[in-house]
Amino acid sequence: MAITPAAVEFDSHGSPCAGLLYRPEGGGAAPVVVLGHGLGCVKEMRLTAYAERFAEAGFAALAFDYRFFGASGGEPRQLLDIGAQLEDWASALDFARSLDGVDTDRVAIWGSSFGGGHVLEAAARDGRVAAVVSQCPFTDGPASTLALGPRSAARVSIRALRDELARAVGRAPVRVGLAGPPGSAALMTAPDVVEGYFRLVPEGQPFTNEVAARVGLRIPLYRPGRRFRSLRCPVFVAVCDRDTVAPPRATLRAARRGRTTEVRRYPVGHFDIYVGAAFEQAVTDQIDFLRRHLLAR
C-alpha cells in the first residue's frame, strides 16, 4: 500500500520551501532522508518515487523544491542560483532535524544530477550528515560545459551576459532553456536530453523549461566533486556509464579521492536511471546502502 505524504513547508532565507514528508510505518525515532532534485527539476519529477520507496523501507523521507521553483516561493521565478540552492539544503536539514519522530543523528541527504553535486557540498558544509546518496551527479563544471558543445555554450554565454546586464539595471531576467536539441541555447543539449528530461514530467504537471540565463556563467566554475576527499560520512555514488549530461569519467575520477565512497555503475543514460528497470536496481542499491549505514547504527 502506497504511503500518503503530508505537505509541509519550511523557511529558507525569508521564502517558503515546499516539501512532501513521507513517514514510515511503526513507532520510534526513524532515520530521515532529505531529497533534492537536479537542474530546474521539481519534486514531482520522480523525486517522490524515491521518497516513497525509502519510506516503505523504514525511513522518513522529505522531498523539497528549491526556492524560485515548483511550489516553493521566491522571486524572480526560475532563478537557478547555486548559492541559494545550497542555502535551501541547509534550511531543509534544519527542518528535518526539527521534526517529531526523527532521529537527528541519522539524517541522510539524497541528490540527483545537479542536486547530486549539491549534496556533496552540503554535507561538507554541514558536518553532521550521517550518509550521502549522489545519483548521476554533476561533479565538474568544466567537464559538463565541454559536454554541452561549443555552439550551445556560446549561445548560453551570450544570453547569460544579457541576463547579468538585465539584473544590474533591474529588468526581468533573460532566460535560457533547460533541455533543448543539440546546438540550441539550453543548458542540456545532448541528443537524448529532450526525450529523457520530459519523460520525468508527470502529465498535467505545470513545468517551465527555462531558467534565468546568468547561471550559465557560474556552472563552469562549480566543482562539487572536489568535496569527496573531505567527506567522512559514507557516500554512495550512482554513476550512469552512458551519461551525456554529467560526464561519468569526471565523476569516477573525483570519487576515487573519497575515503568513504561506494560507487555503483549502471549501463544507462543520465535520465534512464529514474524509470523502469534501472530505477528499480538503483533504488534497491540505495536502500541497501542506507540500511547498512543508518538502520544498523
pLDDT in tens, 203-214: 999 999 999 999
Looking at the chain, the whole-number percentage of residues with pLDDT higher than 70 is 99
- Is residue 136 included in any domain, yes or no? yes
pLDDT of residue 297 exceeding 90: no
pLDDT of residue 15 exceeding 80: yes
- Is residue 212 included in any domain, yes or no? no
Q: Which residues contact 145 (CB under 8 A, 6 or more apart)?
A: 153, 219, 220
In the prediction, which pLDDT does 116 show?
A: 98
pLDDT of residue 26 exceeding 90: no
Looking at the chain, the whole-number percentage of residues with pLDDT higher than 90 is 97
Rounded distance between C-alpha atoms, residue 213 and residue 9, angstroms: 28
Q: Looking at this protein, which amino acid is placed at residue 10?
A: F
- Is residue 254 included in any domain, yes or no? yes
pTM for the model stands at 0.97
Q: Considering its fold, how many domains does the chain have in total?
A: 1
Rounded distance between C-alpha atoms, residue 275 and residue 240, angstroms: 13
In the prediction, which pLDDT does 172 show?
A: 97
- SS3 letters for 46-65? CHHHHHHHHHHCCCEEEEEC
What CATH code is carried by the domain that includes residue 247? Answer: 3.40.50.1820
- Is residue 260 included in any domain, yes or no? yes
pLDDT grade for 1, boundaries at 50, 70 and 90: low
In the prediction, which pLDDT does 296 show?
A: 74
Take residue 15 and report the three cell numbers written for it.
521564502
- Is residue 171 included in any domain, yes or no? no
pLDDT grade for 142, boundaries at 50, 70 and 90: very high
**Which residue range is the domain that position 122 belongs to?**
6-145+222-295
Structure confidence by residue, pLDDT tens digits, 145-189: 999 999 999 999 999 999 999 999 999 999 999 999 999 999 999
Rounded distance between C-alpha atoms, residue 185 and residue 136, angstroms: 23
Mean pLDDT over 132-136 rounds to 98
- Is residue 270 included in any domain, yes or no? yes
CA 135 to chain centre: 8
In the prediction, which pLDDT does 27 show?
A: 74
Rounded distance between C-alpha atoms, residue 225 and residue 137, angstroms: 9
- Is residue 263 included in any domain, yes or no? yes
Q: b/e for 214-249, b at 16 or more Cβ within 10 A?
A: bbbeebbebbbbebbeebebbbbbbbbeebbbbbbe
How many residues in total does the chain contain?
Answer: 297
Rounded distance between C-alpha atoms, residue 291 and residue 202, angstroms: 30
Mean pLDDT over 42-64 rounds to 97
- Is residue 101 included in any domain, yes or no? yes
pLDDT grade for 218, boundaries at 50, 70 and 90: very high
Mean pLDDT over 219-226 rounds to 97
